Copies of this chain bind each other. A is one copy, B any other.
Amino acid sequence: MSESPATASYAEFSRRLKPRMAELLAALFQENRGSIRVKKEKVAVKNLEKIFAAALALGQTKGFHAMSLRELSRASGLSMGALYSYFSSKEELRGHILRFGVRLASEAVEAEAKRYSRPAEQLAGAIRAHLFLSEALRPWFYFAYMEARNLPAKEREQAMANERRTEAVFVRILREGKKRGAFRLPEVELTAAAIKALLQDWYLKRWKYGQAGLGVEEYAAFVVNFVLGAIRARPKEWGK
């Protein structure tokens, strides 16, 4: 509940996230002891990490469906047979990867929420937190976005629900700011959707921003400024 002027820097955000990734990987192993044939946690976690990293990298460039398990075997350094000790089908592997990311992401967003009380700072904080998160987990975010449509119906609905949940955070902040007179905007839901689109562009068009030599902090500053301008929040009004 501190009122520091802005969310922590990306470096700090990233530093706080790292250890959670290792913990969650171990948790994922424990929860799937049934289907994972390897029993030593240390070995399993190490290999799961390799498999996930390789699958995300390959999924990045050619898509998960187009990636063959032979390629994954080569890229991860494990044989075909060894791979199948960690999952029982290619689809199950995709499920593991997606669930791992969802948990990591939702935890991190919850942790950043409600650190501020003034609407404009809340909005800026939420934008920064989402961008920092997608930067730290960029391969996963891209993977999840692109794989969403290939999911079986049930999981696809869950993915769409996730999309709505993210937007709901922004809807709440916008509505509160509007009530307090800090923001002027007619369409709260559409504005939240627009913010979401700007956040997603960061990991979807990384090639473009990378070539322009732009960092995540600079992009975050731009988005915050752009959005606050669009909803008529003026610097002098930020404190309302």
Q: Chain A residues in contact with chain B, CB under 8 A?
A: 61-63, 65-66, 146, 149-150, 160, 163-164, 186-187, 189-191, 193-194, 196-198, 200-201, 205, 207-209, 212, 214, 219, 222-223, 225-227, 229-232
For A146, the chain B residues whose CB sits under 8 A away are 146
Report if A198-B205 is in contact (Cβ < 8 Å); known contacts: A65-B63, A189-B212, A230-B227: no
> Residue on B with the closest CB to A214?
B190
Whether B201 lies near A194 (C-beta < 8 A) is yes
**A227 — which chain B residues lie within 8 A by C-beta?**
230
Partner pick for A229 among B61, B219, B232, CB 8 A cutoff: B232
Query: A222–B223 Cα gap in the complex (Å)?
Result: 17
Which 10 A-B pairs rank lowest in CB-CB distance, beginning with the nearest?
A197-B201, A230-B230, A229-B230, A226-B230, A190-B222, A65-B66, A197-B197, A197-B198, A187-B222, A194-B198
The answer to whether B194 and A62 have CB atoms under 8 Å apart is: no
Query: Which of A164, A194, A227 is most buried by chain B, counting CB atoms within 10 A of its CB?
Result: A194
In the bound assembly, the distance between CA atoms of A63 and B67 in angstroms comes to 14
Min CB distance A124 to B, Å, is 15
Interface of A is mostly: helix
Q: Does the CB pair B198–A149 fall under 8 Å?
A: no
Q: Give Cα A200–Cα B186 distance, bound, in whole angstroms.
A: 22
Query: Can you list 27 residue pairs at the A/B interface with Cβ under 8 Å?
Result: A63-B63, A63-B65, A63-B149, A63-B150, A65-B65, A146-B146, A160-B208, A163-B208, A190-B214, A190-B219, A191-B226, A193-B201, A193-B205, A193-B208, A193-B209, A194-B222, A194-B223, A194-B226, A196-B201, A197-B198, A197-B200, A197-B201, A229-B229, A229-B230, A229-B231, A229-B232, A230-B230
Q: A189 contacts which chain B residues (CB < 8 A)?
A: 212
Contact between B231 and A150, CB atoms less than 8 A apart: no
**Nearest chain B CB to A57's CB is how many angstroms away?**
13
A39 to B51, CA, bound (A): 51
Cα A65 to Cα B225 with chains together (Å): 40
A62–B150 CB distance below 8 A: yes
- CA–CA, A212 to B160, complex, Å? 14
Which residue of chain B lies nearest to A199 when distances are taken between CB atoms in the complex?
B197
For the complex, give the distance between the alpha carbons of A25 and B227 in Å.
42
Q: Kindly list chain B residues whose C-beta atoms are within 8 Å of the C-beta of A187.
A: 222
